Chains A and B, each alone.
Chain A
């Protein structure tokens, strides 16, 4: 697979050149934080960032998306018939995505793409996306990707990986999709041995820098119902205010809601992000709510991410260690601490 070197200036020009074949999404500085936005002349890509505030999951799974439309006009022969909305899956590339966020898409995939049912929108948008990752030279203290099957230069979920060598980017192609992307790119030189070695050293150093070690090895062996009844949930849940911050910032959370919205005689069926933290998430029409209390909802979130997902897919936890929830939880509920509590739990204690 191709390996090329670009100066940083050249790389940005190259990306601009690809805009006819791809919608190129790059990290852009926006006030205090960064956000992935479509490249354009007015905004400069800024690859000097730790990670974006919101994960790039909205580029494959938008926060609000029209799925269907219909007319309620009784004079129309198609009244009340629900029709699929037109979608445009023009190829897109997310350049500068961190390995944790790319890994997150792989973690999410079995939910939307499984033998029984396939979600057409998520799958088609995912397949039309090329992921060009940017390895993390300097992980934060809240990063724990190595504890959950990832790493600062992990290749999971990526089609190509960028190594920031200071003045240059080393681009390493990982998949056919990445090859196709780079083949259409202008410029750059074949990467030589020194560059490749520099990249490897960078990756090794970065992996060593990750301090946070979160144990997840014993989660699979715990009995689901015993962990469910553990006494520590009340303590964990007290501070929680049941907002949606953790779920919305998280690259591996995927729960959604489907709503019909009408205006006069036209209507749309829309999919919106939803959060298991909200009290109405599980409210039955009869008024019964299996998770009416805060502690039940907090327990659900952690059990889902660290136990139910583990039991269901046998593929690790539903977390990519990006640390956004740790940094942004308004009341400092720390998933690393909760995971330790769960991993070390023994019901005999």
Chain B
């Protein structure tokens, strides 16, 4: 996706020259391999900072919440769906945004790459069209990109942006025949005790840094429920019950809104696969209500509307 870089810079320059935006939000190249830094530029001459590659795995929609200026922003499939949700939920207005759509071919899972080189320090990563080369102090290895895509990218069926003002290349082919919820079904098949153990073990490293919550564009509450003190819903220490409460409740607050962008997993410093909570809710939304979040500005949010044919077996 390196060919996008110059196109993004051009798009940004033009927007500033035509006076269409006050700021432009994108990524700039990271100071260490396999991560890029979200950046906000205010003028055409800063456009050179903009960058795009397979390490743009955060969700830039996170930076739009309640801004009041005119913003240019790059958005791939999942990010653009979050922008739709943001607009529907009144966190930003459509007319404030100029969206530069990016047909995405997936982001690299930096942890899988680290594992592949047995945790040796990676000093540089070079991307090519189908492969990437990883260099360290005394090693160099090339891998196939498709073997190291992030788990959410592997099951992505919305790689093309669903909303944009311009799109910087031809749309890419969407993946078909994807079984996105195999892992969720496996957990669903566990008996309650095993299921509880599975999740308890999964979050036992959680240090309550809230990186997952803070990276998620859906989590924009002025005061998060974990921070409330009157009444205090959740303790502030690392008691496992409090930690489980935080994760489960947060997942429920994302029900029907999550686009599986994977930012939460990308940012967790303890490598916890937090999407195991939200994926179950995404699966339920899809299976019970044929719902996927953020596909169109004309859709009201899932939990906002009631269709006459919604299932109601739970009403006894």
Query: Could you tell me if B239 and A64 are in contact, using CB atoms closer than 8 angstroms?
Result: yes
Query: Could you tell me if A32 and B37 are in contact, using CB atoms closer than 8 angstroms?
Result: no
The interface bits of chain A over 233-251 (1 if a CB of B lies within 8 angstroms of the residue's CB, else 0) are 0010011011111001100
A17 within 8 A of B: no
Residues of A within 8 A of B207 (CB): 54, 63, 244, 248
Interface set, chain A 208-251, CB cutoff 8 A to B: 235, 238-239, 241-245, 248-249
Residues of A within 8 A of B208 (CB): 244
Query: Could you tell me if A331 and B271 are in contact, using CB atoms closer than 8 angstroms?
Result: no
Residue of B nearest to A326 (CB): B32
Interface set, chain B 120-138, CB cutoff 8 A to A: 121, 123, 137
Residue of B nearest to A323 (CB): B32
Residues of A within 8 A of B115 (CB): 32
Q: A63-B238, A140-B121, A243-B267 are contacts. A238–B38 as well, Cβ < 8 Å?
A: yes
- Assembly CA distance A324 to B266 (angstroms): 16
Chain B interface secondary structure, helix, strand, loop or mixed?
A: loop
Residues of A within 8 A of B271 (CB): 31-33
Query: Could you tell me if A332 and B37 are in contact, using CB atoms closer than 8 angstroms?
Result: yes
Interface set, chain B 199-239, CB cutoff 8 A to A: 207-211, 213-215, 223, 227, 235-239
Query: Could you tell me if B31 and A332 are in contact, using CB atoms closer than 8 angstroms?
Result: yes
- Assembly CA distance A263 to B30 (angstroms): 47
Interface set, chain B 243-278, CB cutoff 8 A to A: 266-267, 269-271
Residues of A within 8 A of B58 (CB): 330-331
- Assembly CA distance A211 to B115 (angstroms): 24
A40 within 8 A of B: no
The interface bits of chain A over 315-347 (1 if a CB of B lies within 8 angstroms of the residue's CB, else 0) are 000000000001110111110110000000000
Query: Could you tell me if B227 and A238 are in contact, using CB atoms closer than 8 angstroms?
Result: no
Give the residue among A32, A54, A279 with the most B Cβ atoms within 10 A. A32
Return A152 CB to nearest CB of chain B, in Å.
14
A280 within 8 A of B: yes
Return B74 CB to nearest CB of chain A, in Å.
14
Residues of A within 8 A of B36 (CB): 332
Return B215 CB to nearest CB of chain A, in Å.
5
Number of A-B residue pairs at CB separation under 8 A: 101
A50 within 8 A of B: yes
- Assembly CA distance A248 to B236 (angstroms): 14
Query: Could you tell me if A239 and B37 are in contact, using CB atoms closer than 8 angstroms?
Result: yes
The interface bits of chain B over 31-68 (1 if a CB of A lies within 8 angstroms of the residue's CB, else 0) are 11001111110000000000000000010001100000
The count of residues in chain A whose C-beta lies closer than 8 Å to any C-beta of chain B is 42
A349 within 8 A of B: no
Query: Could you tell me if B269 and A328 are in contact, using CB atoms closer than 8 angstroms?
Result: yes
Query: Could you tell me if B31 and A337 are in contact, using CB atoms closer than 8 angstroms?
Result: yes
B114 within 8 A of A: yes
Residues of A within 8 A of B111 (CB): 32
Query: Could you tell me if B39 and A244 are in contact, using CB atoms closer than 8 angstroms?
Result: no
- Assembly CA distance A249 to B208 (angstroms): 12
Query: Could you tell me if B227 and A261 are in contact, using CB atoms closer than 8 angstroms?
Result: no
Residue of B nearest to A32 (CB): B271
A254 within 8 A of B: no
Residues of A within 8 A of B137 (CB): 138
Return B167 CB to nearest CB of chain A, in Å.
25
Residues of B within 8 A of A280 (CB): 223, 227
B312 within 8 A of A: no
Q: A243-B267, A249-B269 are contacts. A332–B114 as well, Cβ < 8 Å?
A: no
- Assembly CA distance A64 to B209 (angstroms): 13
Residue of B nearest to A31 (CB): B271
Query: Could you tell me if A32 and B209 are in contact, using CB atoms closer than 8 angstroms?
Result: no
A270 within 8 A of B: yes
Residues of B within 8 A of A334 (CB): 31-32
Q: Which 7 A-B pairs have the closest CB atoms?
A: A330-B267, A64-B237, A243-B211, A244-B209, A241-B214, A332-B37, A239-B38
